[in-house]
């Protein structure tokens, strides 16, 4: 059971303790701090807490409509309007940098005491029956603990979030902070040993997280490190340390102004982003000017967060933390994700991310090219999306790709769709489906809305057909298709040679799972819509002249599981590859060239072997990418055939012969779908891109381009 790799590696078939913080009010009565809900004192008993149970369902992307979906101009405008409104609605629920300063100002008014944990109100209330793992946020140099303020709401849906607050006047040593964090994670481990503890640290906090992981190699920890200060020796902050305290007063305003500018981001980049989003230049300049004036008013707040003595102490703390963490990197065994900014003006974060990734055995990196030092406070950075994309969210010791999956939000689906929309627009993809009465209609209205449903079809070159198909299902029908993908989408060789895992982040966000019998069984039993490509890698990386040829195993690999749960099997075909590209060097050609042959053999050894007990063509899972030249773009055609019912046939299909007959029927139907499209596209007057451009010039860019008669 395998799948394609390269440009697309989509699916194959399945073989198978904060107390109320009381501050005096003007009336003399105590009042609760509005941004906190409980205080966890730095003792082991502090971890007796309430945990939230969340029962989030995937939000509706479009209104459900059982009638034929004719994707005309009106429908397209409706989708675009809905997309815009959904993004605005989700964006408005987020907090901003202004909220950071407002809440930090309130928080430090009556600051004092030792470092302690708090849970932000936006993260929701928790109860002990929740399976949400604990997430501990370890702050950077500010120490306030509000560095995730823009992330709180989404993090609170899937984590129990605790944030570390280090009071302004506190002088707890680095080892003292380590012991506080260790007591917390050990207590959590005793209470719930089967769940991981997430340590999210930025800058100084990243060093703390690494140090804790090094001292506790047997603990199940997941580290999320943003711009780690392990590169402090190369930091601009080093230049402040030699300045005597009595001479530093004159430098404080300049230093704090510089830090504030880093927190507010790059003014030019912010203005350009606003223009790209559609704002007028004049209003953009005016609004940004107002923002900068407003932000300058927070300079006194920053001065209260980092007065001279505290800043010098934090710099010494950074120096100690960096040295401590660097000396113990070889002891870190925890699963680690490093987030590094390309425009960090305090630390060489990209360079440091590469160094740490080489040094740590279980590590990945994600780059934010336009991001600054205070990454989590920046617009467009979503920590939950990043964690999901990297495949780092799990509730147990190992990830369960079915039960641990968090459905994509509207914004995530729209971003994935936009990423591949160029392909939809360039090829003016035609999607056809079949109603229960056998009528062929344009659109996806023939796809059963209730699962389990198996979409079984053919791979084109590199599996490119799946890229726009999956988000289109969500946008048009509110159906999330779970693709079964090759293991290399989830596990990569440490020494390189294969595509970086970041290439496949969007696949994981949209619900792809590694190919395995158990994952296939779980998806079908959970009534999911599952995408299967029995031809796998062999079909996606075919040779010259093998376009649209099926390379399926000889025996059934999915029929009996489908019948066990009464799944509907929807055979489908896709054509258009031969109008997009032409293979010039296939597997046979490359194996004749010594360098390419050795490269193919090396890459094949690095990936997980699949179908080792299968003979014939499908057993040849050599990891290579055909060399091809693009053509003037033609058109992609999808045809989803009439669903095949298996409900009520469980006993019948337990017989191998009966199951094999149904398997061959599905294969035959896929071949018929391909043949239908190859024949009908010959009569499509808009198969050529020139005719499509002329049509759009006459009817508008958003108009639906006609196709052959159905």
Q: What is the pLDDT of residues 139-174, one digit of tens each?
A: 998 999 999 999 999 999 999 999 999 999 999 999
Do you know the residue count of the chain?
Answer: 710
Between residues 130 and 638, the one the model is more confident about: 638
**What per-residue confidence (pLDDT) applies to 618?**
60
Cα 212 versus chain centre, distance: 26
pLDDT digits (tens, 9 = 90+) for 203-228: 999 999 999 999 999 999 999 999 99
pLDDT digits (tens, 9 = 90+) for 463-507: 888 888 998 999 899 999 999 988 877 876 545 556 678 888 999
Domains and CATH numbers, the chain: 95-390 (3.40.50.1820), 410-685 (no CATH)
Report the run of H or E that residue 164 belongs to, with start and end. Answer: strand 160-165
Provide the β-strand partners of residue 499: none
**What per-residue confidence (pLDDT) applies to 468?**
84
Q: Indicate whether 233 pLDDT > 50.
A: yes
Between residues 198 and 702, the one the model is more confident about: 198
> How far is it, in rounded angstroms, from Cα 506 to Cα 502?
8
pTM reported for the whole predicted model: 0.81
What is the number of alpha carbons within 13 Å of residue 2 lying toward its C-beta?
28
Instruction: Go through 564-603 and write b for each residue having 16 or more CB atoms within 10 A of its CB, e for each that does not.
Output: bbebbbbbbbbbbbebbbebebbbeebeeeeebeeebeeb
**What per-residue confidence (pLDDT) applies to 620?**
58
- pLDDT bin (cut points 50, 70, 90) of residue 343 is confident
**What per-residue confidence (pLDDT) applies to 239?**
62
**What per-residue confidence (pLDDT) applies to 62?**
33
DSSP letter for each residue of 573-619: EEE-GGGTEEEEE-HHHHTTSHHHHHHHHHHHHHSPP--TT--SGGG
**What per-residue confidence (pLDDT) applies to 61?**
32
- pLDDT bin (cut points 50, 70, 90) of residue 87 is very low
Residue 190's φ and ψ, nearest 5 degrees, are -70, -35
- The alpha-helical segments, DSSP class H, found in 168-244 are 174-191, 204-215
Q: Which two tokens stand for residue 189?
A: 């481990």
**What per-residue confidence (pLDDT) applies to 394?**
95
Burial group, residue 41, by CB count within 10 angstroms (0-12, 13-18, 19+): middle
> How far is it, in rounded angstroms, from Cα 458 to Cα 686?
24
Report the run of H or E that residue 481 belongs to, with start and end. Answer: strand 481-485
Residue 573's φ and ψ, nearest 5 degrees, are -130, 150
How does the average pLDDT of the chain come out, rounded? Answer: 80
> How far is it, in rounded angstroms, from Cα 538 to Cα 5?
10
> How far is it, in rounded angstroms, from Cα 279 to Cα 271?
9
Q: Indicate whether 51 pLDDT > 50.
A: no
pLDDT digits (tens, 9 = 90+) for 632-687: 889 999 999 999 999 999 999 989 999 999 999 999 999 999 999 999 999 999 99
* Percent of the chain predicted with pLDDT > 70: 74
Q: Indicate whether 240 pLDDT > 80.
A: no
Q: Indicate whether 354 pLDDT > 60.
A: yes
- pLDDT bin (cut points 50, 70, 90) of residue 262 is low
Please identify which residue in the block is written with the tokens 């945990």: 51
Most confident of the following: 19-28, 88-97, 339-348, 382-391:
382-391
**What per-residue confidence (pLDDT) applies to 22?**
30
Between residues 392 and 98, the one the model is more confident about: 392
Please identify which residue in the block is written with the tokens 């406070």: 377
């Amino acid at each position: 059971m395998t799948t394609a790799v390269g440009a697309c590696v989509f699916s194959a078939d399945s073989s198978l303790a904060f107390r109320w913080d009381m501050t005096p009010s003007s009336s003399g009565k105590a009042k609760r701090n509005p941004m906190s809900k409980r205080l966890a004192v730095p003792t082991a008993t502090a971890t007796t807490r309430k945990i939230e149970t969340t029962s989030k369902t995937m939000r509706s992307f479009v209104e459900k409509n059982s009638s034929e979906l004719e994707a005309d101009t009106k429908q397209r405008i409706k989708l675009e309007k809905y997309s815009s409104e959904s993004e605005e609605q989700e964006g408005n629920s987020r907090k901003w940098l202004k909220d950071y300063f407002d809440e930090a100002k309130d928080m430090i008014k009556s600051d004092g005491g030792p470092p302690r944990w708090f849970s932000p109100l936006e993260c929701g209330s928790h109860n002990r029956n929740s399976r949400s793992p604990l997430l501990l946020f370890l702050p950077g140099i500010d120490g306030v603990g509000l560095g995730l303020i823009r992330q709180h709401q989404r993090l609170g849906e899937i984590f129990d979030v605790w944030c570390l607050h280090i009071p302004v006047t506190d002088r707890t040593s680095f080892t003292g902070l380590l012991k506080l964090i260790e007591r917390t994670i050990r207590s959590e481990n005793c209470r719930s040993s089967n769940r991981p503890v997430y340590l999210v640290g930025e800058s100084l906090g990243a060093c703390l997280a690494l140090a804790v992981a090094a001292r506790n190699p047997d603990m199940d920890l997941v580290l999320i490190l943003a711009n780690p200060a392990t590169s402090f020796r190369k930091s601009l902050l080093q230049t402040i340390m030699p300045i005597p305290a009595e001479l530093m007063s004159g430098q404080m305003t300049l230093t704090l102004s510089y830090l504030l500018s880093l927190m507010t981001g790059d003014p030019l980049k912010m203005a350009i982003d606003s223009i790209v989003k559609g704002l007028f230049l004049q209003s953009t300049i005016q609004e940004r000017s107002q923002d900068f004036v407003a932000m300058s008013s927070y300079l006194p707040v920053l001065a209260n967060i980092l007065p001279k003595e505290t800043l010098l102490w934090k710099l010494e703390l950074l120096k100690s933390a960096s040295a401590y963490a660097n000396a113990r990197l070889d002891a870190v065994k925890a699963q680690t994700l490093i987030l590094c900014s390309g425009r960090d003006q305090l630390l060489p974060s990209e360079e440091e991310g590469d160094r740490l990734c080489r040094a740590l055995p279980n590590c990945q990196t994600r780059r934010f090219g336009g991001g600054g030092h205070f990454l989590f406070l920046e617009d467009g950075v979503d920590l939950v999306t990043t964690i999901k994309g990297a495949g780092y969210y799990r509730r147990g010791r190992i990830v369960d790709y079915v039960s641990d999956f968090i459905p994509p939000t509207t914004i995530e689906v729209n971003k994935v769709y936009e990423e591949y929309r160029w392909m939809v627009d360039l090829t003016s993809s035609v999607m056809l489906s079949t109603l229960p009465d056998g009528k062929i209609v344009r659109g996806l209205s023939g796809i059963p809305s209730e699962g389990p449903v198996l979409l079984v079809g053919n791979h084109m070159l590199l599996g490119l057909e799946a890229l726009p198909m999956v988000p289109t299902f969500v946008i048009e029908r509110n159906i999330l298709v779970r693709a079964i993908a090759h293991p290399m989408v989830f596990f990569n060789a440490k020494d390189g040679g294969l595509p970086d895992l970041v290439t496949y982040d969007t696949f994981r966000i949209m619900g792809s799972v590694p190919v395995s019998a158990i994952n296939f069984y779980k998806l079908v039993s959970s009534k999911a819509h599952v995408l299967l490509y029995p031809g796998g890698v062999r079909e996606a990386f075919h040779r010259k002249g093998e376009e649209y040829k099926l390379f399926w195993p000889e025996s059934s690999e999915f029929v009996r599981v489908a019948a066990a749960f009464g799944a509907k099997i929807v055979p489908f075909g896709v054509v258009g590859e031969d109008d997009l590209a032409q293979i010039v060097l296939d597997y046979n050609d490359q194996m004749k060239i010594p360098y390419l042959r050795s490269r193919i053999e090396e890459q094949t050894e690095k990936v997980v072997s699949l179908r080792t007990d299968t003979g014939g063509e499908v057993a040849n899972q050599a990891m290579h990418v055909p060399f091809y030249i693009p053509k003037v773009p033609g058109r992609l055609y999808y045809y989803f055939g009439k669903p095949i019912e298996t409900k009520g046939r469980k006993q019948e299909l337990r017989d191998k012969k009966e199951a094999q007959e149904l398997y061959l029927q599905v294969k035959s139907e896929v071949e018929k779908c391909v043949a239908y499209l190859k024949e009908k596209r010959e009569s499509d007057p808009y198969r050529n891109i020139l005719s499509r451009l002329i049509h759009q010039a006459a009817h508008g860019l958003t108009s639906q381009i006609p196709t052959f008669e159905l």
